[in-house]
Amino acid sequence: MEYGLDLEYSFNEFLKGFGLSSEIAHIIWLPLPMLLVLVAAVVGVLVTVWLERKISAAAQQRIGPEYAGALGVLQPIADGLKLLVKEDIIPAKADGILFTAGPILVLVPVILSWLIVPFGQNLLISNVGIGIFLWIALSSIQPIGLLMSGYASNNKYSLLGGLRAAAQSISYEIPLALSVLAIVLMTNSLSTIDIVNQQSGAGILSWNIWRQPVGFIVFWICALAECERLPFDLPEAEEELVAGYQTEYAGMKFALFYLGSYINLILSALLVSILYLGGWGFPIPVELIAKFLNLPINSPFIQVFTASIGIVMTVLKAYLLVFIAILLRWTTPRVRIDQLLDLGWKFLLPISLANLLITAGLKLAFPQFFGG
Amino acid sequence: MSIAITTQIICFTVLSLVILIGALGVVLLESIVYSAFLLGGVFMSVAGLYLLLNASFVAAAQVLVYVGAVNVLIIFAIMLVNKKEDLKPINDIKSRRIISTSICLTLLSLLIRVDLTNIWSLSSPQNSIGEESTIRIGEHLFSDYLLPFEVASVLLLMAMIGAIVLARRDVMSKDISTGLPVDQELIEKSSEPLLTNKN
């Protein structure tokens, strides 16, 4: 299965052609994929913000942004510019250091998690062995940043919002990790590349969603709760808590929270598509297309086709899920805090445990379908 | 490989400094909230050290367990009970300090002894397993370290049951901290669901 473009190798060979040593070529190469992914994440946020405005407008029978560019596509950029030039305020009684460190601690783990998102066989920053476990570990840092900003704001709404965010994030992390564990059990690997490759056998039929329907739903609910999206946006519930831990924030620090929440939403959508919807896989396997076109699997045309269709499929699946998340946000009411914790501890946790147990049993009974 | 080694040395120096200064801050700072957040920083830097040793699974587990669970719970507890009150002066503070210092120094000498007597270098570079360590840790946990693993889980279960008993005061007739009889009515009231009468 080791086919596909290896851009790093070609780039290093290209630089070596100018007489550079392989070490220096590697150092020049290193920041490129990181910058590319960072730009992709920010552009993804701009697109999502525009989608959110347009879809919410449609759900409420409004027009939405219209004058900034065609169909208002430039509206998110205008929003971003507005946040950039706003005054940066630290409230007089707030704790300056923690107030500044909070938003950074919220944003950095989310961006770091993009390390493991694959857009193709070799199209990811680093194929680390612990793969998906890295994301689970990194996402557990976020509540510290939320608690920090909630405490440092010196405001009762902020503190309550921070505490709610931490409680919510801790409760939903466990079913999330358990449903990922069921996938890992089927794949025999934590690496995201292996997880996608394991689903690429027969196109759409071999996607994990058919083998893990319960896990898929549990994971999606937990991912929404981790992103603090409605119906689980209790930490910033406007009617009760003003804006939760974000109440005292303005300007660029608020923009960091804003960016963080949208990058997290896109990341969750990407991970759902990787874990359950076949990642970069096309619904029809590429081998069949190559056979149909009478081309060998290693020919340059098929390789470029595979790489580009991989990126398109990953982004398409992720944005389909983002669309569902936006629709959910604008059509469902918010749950109460006791309902939220009940759902997490008394419903999702037992269900995901049972799912893990059944997956293990099925793996022993039918090793050819559930990964031997 | 000179650039890689230099990077490793720089990372190691920075991480060690952060761990040492952070740990001193945890102990010496007056504000308990700062101590708790610094503790998180120390845990993160220890995870960084594990990463430098090619133990990425242990590093991620360190972040997940110590930063994501232990430290968050510590901060959570501090924020729920953070009353602005002055600490009471203790009478025999000097003798307590002497005792705790001597205990810490004994532990330190024990660690130094382990450091000096243990053979740290691997017999051959082939013995380092790197990315394979996840599988190796799993194999050991379910074969020769199975008993300690199960005992640890029983210990955690006991702690959890204890926490539930302490939190659910209705299983006790007396309040643990004050010794007064528990107000059963208050418990009944709080467990009644909202919106029951409004149909």
pLDDT at A2 over 70: no
Using CB atoms, pick whichever of A144, A159, A162 lies closest to residue B71. Answer: A144
Q: Do A130 and B3 touch (CB under 8 A)?
A: no
pLDDT at B196: 53
Residues of chain A found within 8 Å of residue B75, distances taken between Cβ atoms? 144, 147, 166
Quick one: closest CA in B to A144, which residue?
B72
Closest Cβ–Cβ partner in A27, A98, A166 for B76: A166
Q: Which residue of B has its CA nearest to A154?
A: B79
Q: What is the pLDDT of residue B21?
A: 93
In sign, the C-alpha dihedral spanning A37, A42, A46, A49 is positive
Res. A4: pLDDT tops 50: no
pLDDT of residue A332: 85
Is A194:B93 a contact under the CB 8 Å cutoff? no
Q: Which residues of B touch A (CB under 8 A)?
A: 2-3, 33, 37, 40, 44, 56-57, 60-61, 63-64, 67-69, 71-73, 75-76, 79-80, 130-132, 134, 194
Q: Looking at the partner chain, which of B79, B132, B134 has a beta carbon nearest the beta carbon of A147? A: B79
User: For residues B78 and B152, is the Cβ–Cβ distance under 8 A?
Assistant: no
Query: Residue A110: pLDDT above 70?
Result: yes
Confirm if A168 and A234 have CB atoms less than 8 A apart: yes
Closest Cα in chain A to B34: A98
Assigned token pair, A367: 């090793």
pLDDT in tens, A22-50: 777 777 777 887 888 888 888 888 889 88
The identity of residue B26, as a single letter, is: V
Q: Which of A23, A134, A147 sits opposite B75 (nearest CB)?
A: A147
ipTM: 0.80
pLDDT at position B198 over 50:
no
Task: Please name the residues between 139 and 198 in chain A that touch chain B, using a CB distance below 8 Å.
Answer: 140-141, 143-144, 147-148, 150-151, 159, 162-163, 166-167, 170, 173, 190
| Contact yes or no for B46/B62 (Cβ under 8 A) | yes
Q: What is the pLDDT of residue B1?
A: 57
Mean pLDDT of chain A: 83
Which of B37, B67, B134 comes nearest A98 by C-beta? B37
Convert the pLDDT of each residue in B76-119 to its tens digit. Answer: 888 877 566 666 777 778 888 899 899 999 999 999 999 888 88
Coil, helix or strand for B104? helix
Structure tokens at B127: 């013995």
What is residue B199's predicted lDDT score, i.e. its pLDDT? Answer: 46
Mean pLDDT, residues A164-178 taken together = 87
